[in-house]
Every structure is written in C-alpha cells, then in structure tokens.
Structure 1
Amino acid sequence: MRRRHDDHGQVTLLIIGFAGILLMAIVAVIDASSAYLQRQGLDNLADGAALYGADLGSSGIYEEGLGDGRLSQQEAAVRTAVHDYLARAGAARKYPGVDVVVHVDPAGRSVTVRLVAPLDLPLTIPGSPSSPRVAASSTAAVTVVGTG
C-alpha cells in the first residue's frame, strides 16, 4: 500500500511564517517613521537654537564695526541664548533627557548646536537596541551683507 503525502500542514506553516515576516516589516516601518519624525523635530530645534544663539551672541558690531563677512561671537552670550531658546521651545518636555552641546568657532565665527535625545519608539523588534538615540546638528553665523 502506498502512502499519500498531504501538504495541508505545510501551507499553514508557510502562511504563519509570511504573517510573521509581514508583521516585522510593519513594525520596522512604524519605528522608522517615528524615528524620522523625532529627528526632524530635533533638527528644527537645533536650527532655531543655532540661529538664535548666533544672532544674540554677535558682538562684532561693537568691536569691529560693520565690515564684510561674519560677525564674531561671544561664547557666554551664545550659550545663554541657546539654552534660553530651548527652554522657551519646551525641548526638555518634548524630548526628555536631551543633551545639548554648544560650540562657538572663533575662527569661523559660527555657532554649532548639537542635540542628542533618547529615541522613543512606539514598537520594538526583538534584538533591536534597547536604548536608541537620535541626534541633530545645526550651524549658523551672522553675516553682514552690503546694501549697495
């Protein structure tokens, strides 16, 4: 007597496997979208903080006059302006645990603000990093442009 092979159980296993792969893909897309949106928010904060710091930290007008090129920056004034901007924008509330690094480049007469925050993902994939972080950086300078 010949035994007949039945593929019924194999199809069920295949469907369950594909469903698992599809679920993992959905989770990855949701997490990637969330990470992108959080990075964009940090980008906006870093841009605003760098511009605000460069604007309020400019001291070149009084010492150097209105020559051509970038105005020099006072480091203490820049740091105060950046932290004030971030406090008014609610950065600590929107991104708990955000780290702020402010760098004033005297040679380039520019301000760089780097923000690093824990990434809050809505879903997690097994084996993914337990505490991912997202970062954004922006550089700004105040330049005098001739009116003639």
Structure 2
Amino acid sequence: MSRRPASRERDDRGQVTLLIIGFASILLMAIVMVIDASAAYLQRQGLDNLADGAALYGADLGSAGIYEQGLDDQRLLQQEEAVRAAVREYLARAGAGASYPGIDVAVRVDPVGRSVTVRLRAPLDLPLTIPGSPSRPMVGASSTAAVTVVAGD
C-alpha cells in the first residue's frame, strides 16, 4: 500500500483582510472622484451662467451706432470700452469675485462679426483631493453674444 504524505493545510488567515482593505481603498478613491467631479461640474456651470450673462449684458449696453446710422437688419456695432465697462459692472453686481476668488476675465469685441466674447477662468475649489492630482486646477467658461435688430411688420 502506498501512503500519501500528510498534506499541510495552507494558512489563509489574513488574505481576506488584505482583499477587504484593497476594495475599501478603491471604493474610497471612487467616492472622492465622484464628489470632486460633481463639484467641478457645478462650478463650471456657475461660470457658464456668469459668462452668458456678462456677454449678453456687455453686448446690450455696448451697442453703438443706433442714433448715428439708424437701424438696419444687421447686428449692432459694439463700442469696446462700453462693453468692457458693462461686463465689469455685471460681474461686480453678480458677486463673481466673492464666488470665484482669483477669477480671470477676458473680453473680446469682434468688429467684423459685431459680437462680444467673454472668457472666464477661476481656480477650482474641490472639497477633496486625490494624491497626485493637480495642486491648483482651473475651470473656465466662455460665451459670445450679439445684438441683432429685427424689423417689425
């Protein structure tokens, strides 16, 4: 009769603990990413709203040429200084500096297209940070607006 040598049982204690720790850390990183992505999305939406409002306000108050040239079926000309002043006023009234500390504002008036473009950039304020992520992420938004005169019937 041949005898099989007695097999040694493997000691699996501690393996499950490592798996639980690994899965918990992956789950925690996923939660942090979802929270940060949601915060970034909401801040970008807020900047989009500010850029839209500033561009519309600037295009409306910066319109020129109505009294000198009369109304035609084209977009109204924009006076660059009036547009810039209107955009600054709108952002100040909306509290953009308080909501987005360090906001950077760029205003461009296109004389050919007769439009106003407002670009906003601000540091992203994330509630949680992932190791290895950028230390100072930025978020931006831009909007273009023009004033077109429509002749009534």
TM-score (norm 2): 0.94
Q: Does 1:17 pair with 2:22? A: yes
Q: Does 1:69 pair with 2:68? A: no
CA–CA separation in structure 1 for the residues paired with 2:101 and 2:119: 15
Structure 1 residue ranges, 4+ long, deviating more than 2 angstroms after superposition: none
Query: Quick check: which has more Rg, 1 or 2?
Result: 2
Matched residue, 1:137 = 142
Q: Does 1:102 pair with 2:107? A: yes
Q: Does 1:30 pair with 2:35? A: yes
Percentage identity across paired residues of the two chains? 79
Identify if the C-alpha distance between structure 1 residues 7 and 60 changes in structure 2 by more than 3 Å, giving closer, same or farther.
farther
CA–CA separation in structure 2 for the residues paired with 1:93 and 1:136: 17
CA–CA separation in structure 1 for the residues paired with 2:147 and 2:129: 43
CA-based RMSD: 0.8
5+ residue gaps, structure 1, are none
Q: In structure 1, what residue type is equivalent to 2:74?
A: G
Matched residue, 1:39 = 44
Matched residue, 1:48 = 53
Secondary structure class of the residue paired with 1:117: strand
5+ residue gaps, structure 2, are 1-5
Secondary structure class of the residue paired with 2:116: strand
Count of residue pairs the alignment pairs up = 148
Matched residue, 2:119 = 114
Matched residue, 1:7 = 12
Secondary structure class of the residue paired with 2:140: strand
